[in-house]
Structure 1
């Protein structure tokens, strides 16, 4: 086990940070907001953490906290600006936000290191730290998926008019989804940067949108568990399909297309439906057996 862990520690780290990035996109989608601002928050958090360590001499966790808070505040401000947009227009605006973050990093001079980025921001982060962070984030998100809070979130996403009629402030819920998205995205960016010890503008780009969105589509968009499944699949998949070599991108595209067509609720949705059918059959069998007696 120790040998396997040592050989795959980088993949384990990547799985956990990718999960956080995917969650930063999944949260607003669960609230009915087609937003990719979490990717921009990823860049902001990464740069803020790197600058605070390299230029200000901060230690690891204060730098991570700073990246998280700055990204959350900026993304919440973005949410206030674009709150009246919906659908495709919201998606375009938040993708533009991500690209603007990248452009500002390129033109940030000595502060951001320009096109070369920032190097030497190596934090003292172990896998156990990442696991604890992910457990806390997942636990908090789980509270929004169950009970009365879960029902309100579902209503905000599926029928905002009905939610408003029932006294749920849909606009407020959706604004705060930007804040949560920014905090998680900034956390992901800060942790990723301090694990790699570097961040460049090229890392904060549209490819992160594709990665996080495909992880959600394949895993499932209605729960953090779906984001976990998707993150595991897309981080570990290259080790499985490495034999396809230059056809790897084609294989990725095929998997995503097949999931979108045949697994509209993601792997998690299929698993839940299968479990529900199994429980239903078991219950019917018990009722039939009791009637015979």
Structure 2
């Protein structure tokens, strides 16, 4: 078993960082905010952590903290600027933000290393440390999915007018989603950079948006569990289909299309539906009773939301 862990440590680290990166998009998406600013935060966090270590001589964890704080502030300010935009326009504006980050990195001179990027920023990070950080982020995310908070978040996404009428500050929730997106994205970028010891402008590009969206679509958009499932699938899938060589990208495409068409709620949705059927059969003796699904937030409980 220890040999297996040693051989797959890099894949496990990549799974955790991919989970964090995808969460930076999924968190605002759960609040009805179609934002990809978390990918720009990923780039800012990576460059900030690397620059702090190389130019300022900081240690691993102070560099990561700075790599979390600066992109969180930057994305929060972006949220204030684009708060009147919605849907496709908001998505395009936040993608533009990500591309601007890459352009600034190319033209950043010695601070960012220009087109060559920054090299040699190797942090003292272990799999256990990354796991602890990820568990903390996931635990905080779970708080926004549980009970009253989860229902308020669902109300903000599904019917913002009703949520406002019930006393929920929709604008504040959405601003906070930008702040959380920037913090988690920056953390993912900082950890990834200090693991690889390098970051270049080519790594902060549209392909990360595609990867994060793919992870969310395949795994499921409504919970961090779905994001975790999607991260595992797309990090470990290359080791499974490596034998097909040039057909690898084709298989990725098929997986995404099948998930989008046949699994609208992702793999997590299939698992939840199967579990609900099992529970329903187990309670089949209770005629006329429809067991409540504690994970189903599709109906907003007005009393609980307004609490």
Same fold, TM-score > 0.5, yes or no: yes
Cα distance in 1 for residues equivalent to 2:41 and 2:174: 17
Cα distance in 2 for residues equivalent to 1:222 and 1:209: 18
Structure 1 residue 285, shift from structure 2 partner: 3.8
Structure 1 residue 264, shift from structure 2 partner: 0.3
Q: Report the counterpart of residue 245 of structure 2 in structure 1.
A: 245
Cα distance in 2 for residues equivalent to 1:150 and 1:209: 25
Q: Report the counterpart of residue 291 of structure 1 in structure 2.
A: none
Q: Report the counterpart of residue 91 of structure 1 in structure 2.
A: 91
Structure 1 residue 269, shift from structure 2 partner: 1.0
Q: Report the counterpart of residue 284 of structure 1 in structure 2.
A: 284
Cα distance in 2 for residues equivalent to 1:180 and 1:143: 13
Q: Report the counterpart of residue 190 of structure 1 in structure 2.
A: 190
Structure 1 residue 147, shift from structure 2 partner: 1.3
Cα distance in 2 for residues equivalent to 1:286 and 1:152: 31
Structure 1 residue 287, shift from structure 2 partner: 6.6
Q: Report the counterpart of residue 145 of structure 2 in structure 1.
A: 145
SS at match of 1:125: coil
| Higher helix proportion | 1
CA distances 1:201-254 after superposition (whole Å, capped 9, x unpaired): 000000000111100000001000100000000000000111221111111111
- Identify the range of structure 1 (125-134 vs 243-252) with the bigger mean alpha-carbon deviation: 243-252
Q: Report the counterpart of residue 273 of structure 1 in structure 2.
A: 273
Q: Report the counterpart of residue 206 of structure 2 in structure 1.
A: 206
CA distances 1:54-100 after superposition (whole Å, capped 9, x unpaired): 01000000000000000100000000000110000000000000000
CA distances 1:34-54 after superposition (whole Å, capped 9, x unpaired): 000000000000000000000
Cα distance in 1 for residues equivalent to 2:111 and 2:98: 19
User: Does residue 135 in structure 1 map to residue 108 in structure 2?
Assistant: no
Q: Report the counterpart of residue 67 of structure 2 in structure 1.
A: 67
* Segments of 4+ moved more than 2 angstroms: 285-288
Q: Report the counterpart of residue 296 of structure 2 in structure 1.
A: none
Cα distance in 1 for residues equivalent to 2:110 and 2:130: 30
Q: Report the counterpart of residue 235 of structure 1 in structure 2.
A: 235
Q: Report the counterpart of residue 111 of structure 1 in structure 2.
A: 111
Matched positions, count: 288
Where structure 2 has 5 or more consecutive residues not aligned to the other structure, the ranges are 289-307
RMSD: 1.0
Where structure 1 has 5 or more consecutive residues not aligned to the other structure, the ranges are 289-293
Q: What TM-score does the superposition give when structure 1 sets the normalisation length?
A: 0.97
Q: Report the counterpart of residue 55 of structure 1 in structure 2.
A: 55
Cα distance in 2 for residues equivalent to 1:261 and 1:287: 34
